[in-house]
């Protein structure tokens, strides 16, 4: 039965026998960040796990935009954009500034842009190998 699940791609390949490699486990555990940091990392990537938020980030990588601009670019209401921007702001992916009655958003820092650009390079390389 398990072999059928592997062939269908439902389960990942696993060891045929259970054998611990204590030296590797110990070395790896020492290098892992603390649990709170791991949760922060998961939350960061979770925020980028939504296509609308990724589209917003990609647009903001081009230039600073107001909520109305982002609404037009994504085809969503300003209210829906506001909800998505709050998630991105809470995860420190975007930041904003007020100018009169407008609120302009931009990528929080260069690290965000580098992460997304690296992801794009990775995906394009995968597609080129197919």
Angle subtended at Cα 24 by Cα 21 and Cα 27, rounded to the nearest 5 degrees: 145
The per-residue pLDDT for range 12-57, each reduced to its tens digit, is: 788 887 888 999 999 999 999 999 999 999 999 999 999 999 999 9
Give the pLDDT confidence of 76-91 residue by residue, as tens digits. 999 999 999 999 999 9
Single pTM value for the model? 0.82
> Using an 8 Å Cβ cutoff, are 52 and 84 in contact?
yes
- Domain spanning 19-129: CATH 2.40.50.1020: no
Phi and psi based region of residue 100 (left: phi greater than 0; alpha: psi -120 to 50; beta: remaining): left
- Three-state DSSP class for residue 13: coil
* Residues 106-118, mean pLDDT to the nearest whole number: 96
Q: Where are the chain's structural domains?
A: 19-129
């Amino acid at each position: 039965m398990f072999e059928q699940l592997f062939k269908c791609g439902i389960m990942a390949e696993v060891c045929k026998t259970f054998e611990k490699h204590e030296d590797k486990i110990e070395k790896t555990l020492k290098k892992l960040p603390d649990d709170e940091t791991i949760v922060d990392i998961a939350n960061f990537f979770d925020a980028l796990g939504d296509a609308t938020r990724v589209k917003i980030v990609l647009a903001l990588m081009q230039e600073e935009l107001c909520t109305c601009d982002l609404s037009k670019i994504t085809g969503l209401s300003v209210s829906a954009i506001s909800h998505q921007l709050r998630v991105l702001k809470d995860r420190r992916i975007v930041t904003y500034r007020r100018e009169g009655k407008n609120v302009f958003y931009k990528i929080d820092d260069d690290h965000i842009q580098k992460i997304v650009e690296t992801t794009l390079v990775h995906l394009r390389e995968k597609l080129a190998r197919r």
